[in-house]
Amino acid sequence: MIKFDEVAKQVSILRAAEFCGLTVKQYRSPCPACNQGGERALQFFTDTERFKCWAYEGKMWGDSVQLVSHVKGVRQGEAAAMLVSHFSLKVDNEKAPEKPKTAPQGFDPAKYRSTLITEHELLSGIPPELCESAGIGVAPKGAHQGKVVVPLFNQAGEFLVYASVTGLTLPKNWRPK
């Protein structure tokens, strides 16, 4: 995924306007996307590398990527890719590492787990001892009341949340390891 802010830092607002085929006079230009507002609908600010479209309903502000997106009528990701390709830019395309997800604050999974019903018709075919050891059960109250719930964990093995499931069955030959 292209980082839009990196692209915007490397392509000035006037270079982006030129890329879009706009003729800029006194930092103003018509807006081909809105097709209204006259010769001064788009305004360019070189001190902040931003533009403003006065013709756009609600007024539109943005950087060079957003200008290309607006004028060419494409999503910002496509606009950024167009600028990277046209100007042969070097950008970091890697995703930022995701922050590991954790359980909601104030929620006590052990306390919740102790309230689960492990012997219930919705769990027929699943041994109660397996339900107890895995933290599976039927919720007696709350948002999941009357539903089978299972705990979900992140890759580090940390508890995230209980999720309700439907149609939980195990193959006849299945046995816990």
How many angstroms separate the CA atoms of 69 and 47, rounded?
Answer: 21
CA 168, CA 60: separation in Å to the nearest integer?
Answer: 50
Where does residue 7 rank: exposed (0-12), middle (13-18), buried (19+ CB within 10 A)? buried
119 in a structural domain: yes
Q: How deeply is 123 buried, as exposed, middle or buried, from its count of CB atoms within 10 A (0-12, 13-18, 19+)?
A: buried
| pLDDT for residue 89 | 92
* CATH code for the domain of 11: 3.90.580
- The pTM of the full predicted model, rounded to 2 decimals, is 0.54
Average pLDDT for 121-143? 85
- pLDDT tens, position by position, 46-104: 999 999 999 988 678 999 999 999 999 999 999 999 999 999 998 876 555 565 566 56
Q: Is residue 64 part of a domain?
A: yes
pLDDT at 177: 56
Does 68 lie in the same domain as 141? no
pLDDT digits 0-9 by tens, 83-98: 999 999 988 765 555 6
CA dist 49 and 51 (Å) reads 7
